[in-house]
Amino acid sequence: MPEISRFFGIIITMFYDEHNPPHFHARYGSDKAALEIASLRVLEGKLPSRALGLVVEWASQHQEELMMNWEAARNDRPPKKIQPLQ
């Protein structure tokens, strides 16, 4: 599972050959969640509200890059790193 970004203790990853809808995974400590790229809604899991807010803020700034990474990963190509939230 390639790591595509890391900020404030949050790790963002994307699996190869993953199921639809397009999504990414966020981990903060022992908490994990999968978020849909288009809507930024949580598909499964949960994160503390502050961490979730940071993930949604970051993802809203990088939705186009996330979709390009989704397509790359679906085609067994490595996703590119995305700038962390600053």
User: 26-64 pLDDT, tens per residue?
Assistant: 999 999 999 999 999 999 999 999 999 999 999 999 999
Average pLDDT over every residue of 9-29: 93
At residue 77, the 3 state secondary structure works out as coil
18 pLDDT above the threshold of 90: no
Helices (H), 1-86: 49-61, 63-74
Phi-psi region of 13 (alpha: psi -120 to 50; beta: other; left: phi over 0): beta
Global pTM? 0.94
Residue-level pLDDT at 30: 98
Give domain limits for the chain.
3-74
Q: 51, 69, 56, 42: which is closest to 8 by C-alpha?
A: 51
SS3 content of the chain, % helix, strand, coil (to 5): 30, 30, 40
Average pLDDT over every residue of 60-71: 96
**Percent of the chain residues topping a pLDDT of 90:** 85
